[in-house]
Structure 1
């Protein structure tokens, strides 16, 4: 039931966008009509579905599940392992009747049985005419390691939810910044946000295909210490982030930050460009360039990418010219030169201190699952009153264990038996074994 609750909550956190603004949820989850008839933005924000993995009820489920695993480990798994490590000899023939596989032979000896069992990698214990052998004890340890790995994963997930954060920054090429625009964070995040280092965007650029579509965008980043000295540098792109002290910087978006222009022979000045509303028809950026000192006249510059093509509109909104970076055009009686377009890199920045524990837990879980598939097999033997009793049981791979025991019986009877007698040994197995 707890696993089902965790699965349902995790699915909701995957389907519903996490860490967005209230305006985003109001636009995408309106009250009328509500999704499924009830899921509106008010319900979503009240329940905490905008940050599922940090809600008190999700963390409570994880803690309850971890407590259940811990209780099961100490009340069932450890006692089962302790019992498996102990050995107990069978002293009466009737004890073999409760085993799934058992046989009673007229011939056979413990001295002949021991090497046969050791060849099959059994650990043998012998006391007089009694014998006990076992193998596959790791199969009993496996479930304990499974529980330990799941507890490690849960601990890592809870620690990451409480101390991790996600930030988004839009930084112009050439600018230096510290992480400030936190969009989602746990309640204990204070110590995780870096204060002693910053990041400089040395350069941002975009590669385009021959058809003019974006192929890839890149950011050349430098990590600077508190004195402004470079301590790390890397060019990042999509799926190739920069990692430093547990913080990961991903290339996520881009924008046009500014246009560098010159009027006649004036110094180059930088005009910020803002994204314009297009009603979903694409992204374009624009700025206004005054062509008179009193700002009574000017033109608008519009660009859709960083390839350098700009459209120039007059004050009435009429297209008057097109120009590329490095070119000039006469408008309103002045020479307007476009020196360059400055791009901004959109970075998504994440820190999750619980990830090492989660990864270690999953690695341990894969190992423990393989351990759990190892069969724990036990064999007893007793030599009493001229008869030889042998039997065994296993917790899995029953058919393989039966074949193994039949092979041991076959070899045990070979020195003193005729070729027909191995079949007799097989028939000696109790009906429940076949």
Structure 2
């Protein structure tokens, strides 16, 4: 519902909440007061001051408040600071389970950190909600102020009410012998100072750098674009920052591509500096015994599926490029970049075991377990089968005293094998590196089948970083626009000087600027020194001037 409009004595109809008439400039609030006019937004009414009845009005008024915007910013800053106490989940070691990592690395504080969801803070729904609320606040606050200010500045009149003139911060009244000569000379001097001159009925408005008033709004546009870019990072396909570990001879889907691309690690190489090269002798002597790595690279093949309808590891793949991925020489494709990030040499890949039949003293056979993809059972030479009862890729004992695995990387593999003896009884044997014991109830009754460790196979593993960032243009554009608005609003003040004829040979002079008052007073002084105009006065004392600067910094 619209509030009652205000009709000025000049006949102009002003919206409710207007403090200064949009036509003649007469003050509509505290008309009998000598208090300086509030020139913020030229005294024009804002929507938040005009409507306050419906739910939409109340939501609009809430988000248009500067206090609300500052509160949201403070909450975001506090939340962002909390997100830096411990590493985000993205930066914990690959393969680690977040639920156990934070508790083991950071104790009860880490466990609480994980429970409250701060381990994935910047992608959480409530953090995104805060960012959205900030964007809405900036947008509504800008619209609420932009259009009234735009209309007031675009339609401002040259001839102003005497009360408008006298209640400006800089105001003076001069009696001159020739109004025309004085006005013409003052206009000429103001033009030399690059003021744009508007004349009406012999009165003058000199103005320059009006465009500087839009600096804060340009800031807001840039900030909104930047926030949109930041939020787009959490939309599928817009941003990828993932690690992938690929063993030699292995072909895996490239993360973030929805299995549209696969990468094969044909071979991984590490190249060391030449120990006989004199250029590197100093560095080698400073760190004796260390590996002096010059570079490391992955000889890779990039594939795409030939049949889009097929899903899973059985897809038919077509090689589209073959390239060496090296430090500072990434693989580029379809807005993706694959960087050489890390490596692991001689990772365990397979373990071999021999099985002996104690009753006959003969070998029952041998088998080899692929540590990254073990089978459920293996058939020996004598026809017996070995079942993998349990497998721990990286064996540890948890706090409850139970065997478990820290992750799926085979750094410390352990097995529980099961076989059935000739009596139909199940025999369980626990085997890990340098450990082998039988799980049985009777210590004096050994198992029929004995397992022994036969050997291991290793391979190299390459660590790659997959990056895709379609939000970067938004971030660059938003940041650039923000800096442009900051420059626009900080270094160019909007200045206006009014010269108005009165009866009896008087000329009123008033001036306003949104910043740097001393500079505009200096410009006016250079005009009054060369004309009959008296120098206007600054109508503020020191205490009021300090308060005015804080409130009137547009």
The alignment's TM-score, normalised by the length of structure 1, stands at 0.67
1:249 matched to 2:338? The reply is: yes
| Per-residue deviation, residues 83-122 of structure 1 (Å, max 9, x unmatched) | 2333222345554221111233334533223332232222
**1:49 CA displacement:** 1.3
Which stretch of the first structure deviates more once superposed, 80-89 or 57-66?
A: 80-89
1:18 matched to 2:91? The reply is: no
Matched residue of 1:115: which SS?
Answer: helix
Contact 1:85 1:137 in 2 (8 A): no
Which of 141, 148, 159 is the equivalent residue of 1:72?
141
**1:272 CA displacement:** 8.6
Which of 502, 507, 510 is the equivalent residue of 1:391?
510
Which of 139, 151, 156 is the equivalent residue of 2:224?
151
- Mapped to 2, the partners of 1:177 and 1:32 lie a distance apart of 33
Which stretch of the first structure deviates more once superposed, 75-84 or 341-350?
A: 341-350
- Mapped to 2, the partners of 1:84 and 1:371 lie a distance apart of 17
Give the equivalent residue in structure 1 for 2:269.
205
**1:393 CA displacement:** 0.7
C-alpha change, 1:276 and 1:226, in structure 2 (3 Å) is: closer
C-alpha change, 1:60 and 1:116, in structure 2 (3 Å) is: same
Give the equivalent residue in structure 2 for 1:99.
168
Point out which structure has higher relative CO (alpha carbons under 8 A, 6+ apart): 1
Matched residue of 1:402: which SS?
Answer: helix
Matched residue of 2:470: which SS?
Answer: coil
1:5 matched to 2:75? The reply is: yes
Unaligned runs of 5+ in 1: 181-191, 261-270, 279-283, 288-313, 317-339, 418-423
- Mapped to 2, the partners of 1:286 and 1:225 lie a distance apart of 34
Which stretch of the first structure deviates more once superposed, 8-17 or 167-176?
A: 167-176
Which of 113, 117, 122 is the equivalent residue of 2:195?
122
Provide the aligned length of Structure 1 versus Structure 2: 349
1:364 matched to 2:481? The reply is: yes
**1:359 CA displacement:** 2.5
Contact 2:297 2:327 in 1 (8 A): yes
**1:369 CA displacement:** 1.0
- Mapped to 1, the partners of 2:75 and 2:83 lie a distance apart of 12
CA RMSD of aligned residues (A): 4.2
1:425 matched to 2:534? The reply is: yes
**1:28 CA displacement:** 3.5
C-alpha change, 1:32 and 1:351, in structure 2 (3 Å) is: closer
- Mapped to 1, the partners of 2:162 and 2:248 lie a distance apart of 86
Q: Which residues in structure 2 correspond to 1:215-226 (within 5 Å)? A: 215=293, 217-220=295-298, 223-224=302-303
1:405 matched to 2:524? The reply is: yes
C-alpha change, 1:156 and 1:82, in structure 2 (3 Å) is: same
**1:22 CA displacement:** 6.8
Contact 1:174 1:201 in 2 (8 A): yes
Contact 2:260 2:305 in 1 (8 A): yes
Give the equivalent residue in structure 2 for 1:139.
212
**1:273 CA displacement:** 9.6
Q: Which residues in structure 2 correspond to 1:178-189 (within 5 Å)? A: 178-180=253-255
Contact 1:155 1:357 in 2 (8 A): yes
1:379 matched to 2:457? The reply is: no
Contact 2:215 2:488 in 1 (8 A): yes
1:170 matched to 2:245? The reply is: yes
Matched residue of 1:109: which SS?
Answer: helix
**1:254 CA displacement:** 0.7
- Mapped to 2, the partners of 1:122 and 1:111 lie a distance apart of 14
**1:277 CA displacement:** 9.0
- Mapped to 1, the partners of 2:540 and 2:106 lie a distance apart of 66
Task: Find the structure with the greater CA-based Rg.
Answer: 2
Q: Which residues in structure 2 correspond to 1:246-285 (within 5 Å)? A: 246-257=335-346
Contact 2:171 2:539 in 1 (8 A): no
Contact 2:395 2:412 in 1 (8 A): no
Matched residue of 1:380: which SS?
Answer: strand
- Mapped to 1, the partners of 2:105 and 2:345 lie a distance apart of 36
Matched residue of 2:534: which SS?
Answer: helix
- Mapped to 1, the partners of 2:210 and 2:106 lie a distance apart of 61
**1:244 CA displacement:** 3.4
Matched residue of 2:501: which SS?
Answer: strand
**1:410 CA displacement:** 2.4
Matched residue of 1:349: which SS?
Answer: strand
**1:232 CA displacement:** 7.9
Contact 1:224 1:232 in 2 (8 A): no
